[in-house]
Structure 1
Amino acid sequence: MKVLQLNTVSGISSTGRIATDIAQMLESQGNDSKIIYGIGNSPEHLQKYGYKIGSKFSVHLHSGISQFFDGEGYGSQKATRQAIAFAKEYNPDIIHMHNVHGCFLNIKIWFDYLKTVKKPIVWTMHDCWSFT
């Protein structure tokens, strides 16, 4: 089984550690997992699980859009297309989303893509961002 995870970070902070813990657990059971993330760097021993999208500049640009134009979640078009291309190539059995906020992902483009995916999608809500 192949599980694609999506999170702001990989291998660091609370949700980043949760994502890599899941990836390691899946691997120990003979499965595969990759984590698309956009901020920071994953620790060296966990980098095999991560696929980083965007750049430091794109995160700062998205942050500026968020602050000045109330556009949280609507920057990072190029990074999101990069994530979608990776998801299509990886061809997971399940998509597991964690945090989708944090100025690394365009939620409209991402959710438009998810509408076309005929696979189970899990969204673990670690906070209230999605509905506040």
Structure 2
Amino acid sequence: MDKKRLLIVDDQVGIRILLLEVFATEGYETFQAANGRTALEIVRSHRPDLVLLDMKIPGMDGLEILKQIKEHDRSIKVIMMTAYGELDMIKEATDLGALMHFTKPFDIDEMRLAVNMQMGEGSSSRFATGS
């Protein structure tokens, strides 16, 4: 069976390295991007199953990246990461199709569980879709 693909998008290299190590250990094929342009190139060329997406990224913000990911392929799952209590942005991200969000500093085990749960679900998602 093909490995599930995970894309980590964060401008902080320490967070990318931490998440890459954790999820490579979980057996995922992991990709990383420090900015929106790279993230979207990876989405187009590798079609990740799930994207861990930081809300605050220089250049193109997380909401814009999320919009473009969903325009490219609605089935790609997205979990937002945020360092601030950006409740309005979190609501907008949810409206745009993000499944959930983690506030930094997040609990790495909670993140791992959430990702494993999303990756294990295949097409039968626990989250309602549609209007």
Q: TM-score, normalised by structure 2?
A: 0.51
How many residue pairs get aligned? The number is 84
Moved over 6 A (4+): none
Please state if 1:8 is matched with 2:11: yes
Q: Which runs of 5+ in 1 are unaligned?
A: 11-16, 39-79
Post-superposition shift, 1:128? 3.1
Q: Percent identity?
A: 10
Tell me which of 80, 91, 99 is aligned to 1:123. Answer: 80
Post-superposition shift, 1:119? 1.6
Aligned residue for 1:63? Answer: none
1:3/1:89 Cα in 2 relative to 1: closer, same or farther (>3 Å)? same
Tell me which of 51, 73, 78 is aligned to 1:95. Answer: 51
Residues 49-100 of structure 1: per-residue CA shift (max 9 Å, x gap): xxxxxxxxxxxxxxxxxxxxxxxxxxxxxxx445312221121110111243
1:98/1:83 Cα in 2 relative to 1: closer, same or farther (>3 Å)? closer
Q: Is the 8 A contact 2:55 2:63 kept in 1?
A: no
Q: Is the 8 A contact 1:5 1:34 kept in 2?
A: yes
Q: Which runs of 5+ in 2 are unaligned?
A: 90-131
Post-superposition shift, 1:110? 2.2
User: What RMSD in Å do the two structures reach over aligned CA positions?
Assistant: 2.5
Larger radius of gyration: 1
Q: How does 1:14-25 map to 2 (within 5 A)?
A: 17-25=14-22
Q: Is the 8 A contact 1:95 1:122 kept in 2?
A: yes
2:21 is paired with a residue whose SS is helix
Q: TM-score, normalised by structure 1?
A: 0.51
- Which structure has the highest helix share of the two? 1
Q: Is the 8 A contact 1:2 1:92 kept in 2?
A: yes
